[in-house]
Chains A and B, each alone.
Chain A
Amino acid sequence: MSKIGVYVCHCGENIAGVVDVEDVRQYAEQLDGVTVTRRNLFMCSDPGQEMIRQDIASGLVDRVVVAACTPRTHEPIFRTTLEKAGLNKYLFEMANIRDQGSWVHAHDKYGATAKAKRIVASAVGKAANLHPLEDKFVDVTPAALVIGGGVAGIFSALELAKMGHKVYLVEKQPSIGGAMAMLDKTFPTNDCSACILTPVMVEAANHPNIELLTCSEVADVNGYIGNFNVRIRKNQTYVDWNKCTGCGACAEACPVRTANEFNGGMDHRGAAYIHFPQAVPKKAVVDMSVCINCAGRKLGTEPRISKKTGQPVLAACEKACPSGAIDRSHHLPAEGTLRDIEVGVIIVATGYQVMEKENFPEYAPDSPNVITALQMERLISATGPTGGKLLRPSDHRKPRTISFVSCVGSRDVRHHTYCSRVCCMYMIKQARLIKEKYPDIRIFMHVIDVRAPGKDFDEYYTRARDMGITFVKGKVGGMEILPADQVRVLGYDVDLGSNIEVDADMVVLASAMEQPPTAKLLARKIGLSFDGAGFFKELHPKLKPVETAVEGVFLAGCCQGPKDIPDTVSQAKGAAAAAAIPLCQGKVRIDPTISEVDTEKCSGCGICTPLCPYNAIVLKTYSGRPRAMIDITQCKGCGVCTAACPSAAILLHGYTDVQILSQIAALTRAA
C-alpha cells in the first residue's frame, strides 16, 4: 500500500481566495492511501518544500501530490524536492486547482472547492499507481547551426565560436550582413552602419570555428536536440568561388541591366554581380534568371571557335574573369548542391522584410518619388545608387520638401496590428541626416505619436525638433500626384485641429517590418510555431525569450519580432548563451514519460508508424517478424500510438491504462 502525502497550496490569495483549502485538505485526508495532508501559503517556498522533504525523510510518505498551480512552471521544482529527499522524482503528481479551479471559477467558491476536491482525488488515484522512472541521456553533437547571416546571426555565431563551438552560418544571399548592411547610419549615435558591421562580418568569416555557407538555404531538418541532421542546399552561383577574387570584372563586363535589390531597385546590376561593395565573402555570382546568354551558347557546352580569330567565342563574364572562375562549358546543376551536416543546436535568425509601397494604394505608389524608408537608406548612403547625394528618383533633382509618413502598415488592423518599434527612430534619423547635410530642405514628419523608448532616444528626437524638423501629429490618409512629380500629402494636424496638406517632392513611407513568406517553409521544416503577428513564437514572452517549443532550437533578431540593432545584438548573444548550454553539457536528458513497445505483444501491423507525428516509430525485424520500434530521442510522449495500437502493445510511461483509469474512477465518483 502506497503512502501518499497531499500538500494543498494557498498560492497566496490565488487559490485560497476562492477555494476553501482547509476543506480540500480534510477531504484529501480520507482518500485511500493518503497518510499525510498539509497546507501552506506557498508550497513552492522553502518552508513548503521542506515540509515535503521531512515527510519523505521520516518515512511518512512515498508518493507526493501537490495541489497547487500548473505543472508547466512548478512540476520541475517539486520533482527536485523529491529527488533531494531520496525519492524517485516521477512518484509525483500535480493537481492544478488554480488554473483549473480558482482562476476559472472565481465567481463560484462552492463549485470551485468541489471541483478542487475532485482534481485532488484524481491525482491521488493516479499517484497510488505511479512507478519509478529513470531519465535517459544521449550525447550532443558538438556543433551549432545558425540560420541567417544578418547582424543577429553573425553575433550568435561569433559568440558560440568564441566559446569554442563549431558553427555553421547559413545565409541565402551571396554575402552575410543582412538588412543592417543596407543601412546608412544608425540611431541614436549616427555611427555608420557599415563601419560597425563590416569588421564583425570579417571576424565571423575569418573565425576558425565558423564555417560560412552563403548562397545557401536549409533544405530539410530532422532529429532532435543534441542530434539534428540538416540538409543544406548551396544554390548555384555559376562562379568557382575557389578561384574568384571578387575583382568585379565580370560584373562590369556583363551586358545585362537588371534592378539591383541591394539598392532597393533604384539602380541596376548585371546578371553577373557582387552583392555589395563590402560583401563578405566578396565573391561574384551569376543570376541565371536574368542572364541573356550573350555569347549565344547553351550552358554546359564548349564555346564556338571564331573563324576570324581562331579563338573561342566567350561570354562577356567568362572573357573578363582574370582568374578563370567563370567557365560556362561546365555542366553545373541549376538546383545547386546538397550537403548534410549534423548539429546539436539550431539558432534561427532569419530576419524580416519591409512592406513594399504597392501594398498601399492610398499612398500614391505609382509615383517614383514615393519610396520606402529602406530605399531612403540607400539614397543617402555613400554606397547607394546616387553615391550618397539625395536626389529624387523621378528627375534626379534635389528635393525641397520631404514628408515622412509613419505607421504605414503598422498599428493598422488592415495590415499589422503591432508597432514595428523602429520606424519613429529611423525616420527621425533620416530626417536629421538630411537636415544636417541640406538645411534648406523642409521636412514634415507625420506621426500618430512619436515612440522613442530607448537609451538616448528621446533626446535624439528632441534634437530633431530643435533642428527645425516639423512634427505633425496625425496619420496621413491619402496622397495625390501633382504635376512636376510632386505628391500632395493629405494629412491632419491634431494640435491645429485642422486638415493639412504638404506638397512634397519626396515621400518616405515608414512601412511595417514583417515576416517574409519564406518563413512558413522554414517553420514547417523545423516545427516552429508563429505568434499572432506572424513572427516566430518564443517559448515564454518574458522568461524564455530565445527558446522555442522545439527543444534545441533558439531565436534571435527580427524573426521573433521587430527590434532595433541594440536589441537584436542582445538577443543574439542571449540565444547563443542558451544554445551553448546543451553544447557545454555534452548530453541531453530524455524524459522517460514516453512510449515503449512490448515486442512480445506487438503484431507488427504497422498502424502506429504513419500516425506518429514525430516519425519516431519504424518497423524492424525482431525474431524474424516485423515489430514496431520507438526511437526514444524522437518520441515526445503524445500517446497517439498507445491509443491506436489494436494489441495494446504500446505503453506510455507515466500515463498507463491503470493510472488513467484510476483518475477517471476518482473523477466520476461522487465527491
Chain B
Amino acid sequence: MQTVNLTQMDKEGIAEKVIAMGGEGLLNCVQCGACASVCPVARAGFSLYCKNLIKKLQSGYMEEILEDSSTWACQACNRCTEICPRDVKPSEVVFAFRRIQAEELAISTSAFTPLMSLYETGHAVYNKRSKELRKKVGLPETPPTSIGDPKAVAELQKILDDSPMAELGIFLNLMSRKQEK
C-alpha cells in the first residue's frame, strides 16, 4: 500500500458522519481484533470487515472504500457486538457505512433481489415453494403476513416510496413494470 499522509487526507467530518448514521462507537475502537476473529465476513475472506472498516473510517478513508461490496456480506449476526470489549458495536458501524454507501448508490447487486422482494411481497426473502410444504403439514398456503394481502403490500410500498430507499430508483422501475403488465 502506498504511504498515506494522514494530515493531507480529508478526514474532516467522516467520523462525525458515520456516528450520525448510527456508528456511535466508532472512536472507542482500539483495534483489538476480537470482532474480526468471529466475523463470518472476515472468515470468508472478504476484504473489508468490521475491524479494518473501522480503522479505515477512523483514519479518514471514504472515497477509497465506498465501492467495496464486502460490507453487504454482513449477515447482522451480531457476534462482533456481543464480543466487543469497548462497546463499539461494530455491526452498527458496518450498517452506518452501508447507509452511506446506499446514499451514494454504491449498493452491491447482491442486495437488489432482496430489496425488490421486500417491495413486492413485504419479505426480503420469500420462498414461493413453501406453499406446498405448508399445505402438506396442514397449514394455510400463505402465512398471515403481507403475502396475499395486497392492502398491506400497498401500505408497505407507500412507506418505501416515501423513504430514502426510493431514491435508489429500483422500486419505481418495478412499479412501472407492473403497470405495463
Contact = CB atoms under 8 A, between A and B. Distances in A.
Interface stretch (A228-236, A499-507, A553-561, A660-668): A499-507
B7 A498 contact: no
B30 A465 contact: yes
Contact of B5 (A442, A462, A496, A503): A503
A503 B7 contact: yes
Interface string A423-443: 000000000000000000010
A639 to B, nearest CB: 58
- Considering the complex of A and B, which 5 residue pairs feature the smallest CB-CB distances, nearest first? A499-B3, A498-B1, A503-B7, A501-B5, A495-B31
A495 B4 CA distance: 13
Contacts of B78: none
Contact of B7 (A442, A450, A473, A496): A442
A366 interface: no
Nearest to A499: B3
B55 interface: yes
B59 to A, nearest CB: 6
10 contacts: A442-B11, A465-B27, A468-B27, A472-B6, A495-B52, A496-B52, A496-B56, A499-B1, A499-B3, A499-B4
Nearest to B51: A495
Interface in B80-121: 86
Contacts of B27: 465-466, 468
A444 interface: yes
A20 interface: no
B159 to A, nearest CB: 36
B7 A493 contact: no
Contacts of B30: 450, 465, 471
Contacts, number: 57
B3 A504 contact: no
A497 interface: yes
Interface in B1-36: 1-8, 11, 15, 27-28, 30-31
A353 interface: no
B142 interface: no
A502 B59 CA distance: 12
A96 interface: no
Question: In the complex, which range does the number of interface residues on chain B fall in?
Answer: 20 to 34
Contact of A501 (B6, B11, B15, B58): B6
Interface string B44-58: 000000011001101
A401 interface: yes
A599 B51 CA distance: 83
A501 B28 contact: no
A470 B27 CA distance: 9
Contacts of B58: 470
Contacts of B11: 442
Contact of B28 (A465, A470, A497, A504): A465
A497 B1 contact: yes
A632 B27 CA distance: 67
- Most chain B CB within 10 A, of A450, A473, A495, A502, is at A495
A504 B58 CA distance: 19
Contacts of B5: 500-503
Given A493-B59, A496-B1, A473 B6 contact: no
Contact of B6 (A462, A470, A495): A470
A466 B4 contact: no
Nearest to A497: B1
A473 B51 CA distance: 14
A622 B56 CA distance: 88
A249 B31 CA distance: 56
Contacts of A401: 7
A501 B31 contact: no
A390 B4 CA distance: 28
Contacts of A465: 27-28, 30
A450 B31 CA distance: 12
Given A465-B28, A468-B27, A496 B3 contact: no
Interface string A467-482: 0101111000000000
Contacts of A498: 1-4
A495 B7 contact: no
Given A442-B7, A498-B4, 15 more contacts: A401-B7, A462-B28, A466-B28, A468-B15, A470-B59, A493-B4, A495-B51, A496-B59, A498-B2, A498-B3, A501-B3, A501-B4, A501-B6, A503-B5, A503-B7
B29 to A, nearest CB: 8
Given A462-B86, A495-B52, A500 B31 contact: no
A528 to B, nearest CB: 41
A504 B7 contact: yes
- Most chain A CB within 10 A, of B7, B28, B59, B86, is at B7
Contacts of B52: 495-496
Given A462-B86, A470-B58, A495-B52, A500 B28 contact: no
Contacts of A468: 15, 27
Contacts of B6: 444, 470, 472, 500-502
Contacts of A466: 27-28
A468 B58 CA distance: 9
B78 to A, nearest CB: 22
Nearest to A449: B30
A406 to B, nearest CB: 15
B53 to A, nearest CB: 11
Contacts of A472: 6
Contact of B55 (A444, A462, A495, A502): A495
B55 A500 contact: no
Interface in A202-260: none
A503 B5 CA distance: 8
B28 A496 contact: no
Contacts of B4: 493, 496, 498-501
Contacts of A499: 1-4
Nearest to B59: A496
Contacts of A444: 6
A499 B3 CA distance: 5
A462 B51 CA distance: 17
A473 B59 CA distance: 12
A444 B59 CA distance: 11
A503 B1 contact: no
A470 B8 CA distance: 15
Nearest to B33: A495
Interface in A385-442: 401, 442
Nearest to A464: B27
A479 to B, nearest CB: 14
Nearest to B54: A495
Contacts of A442: 7, 11
B3 A502 contact: no
A500 B9 CA distance: 11
Contacts of A503: 5, 7-8
A330 to B, nearest CB: 59
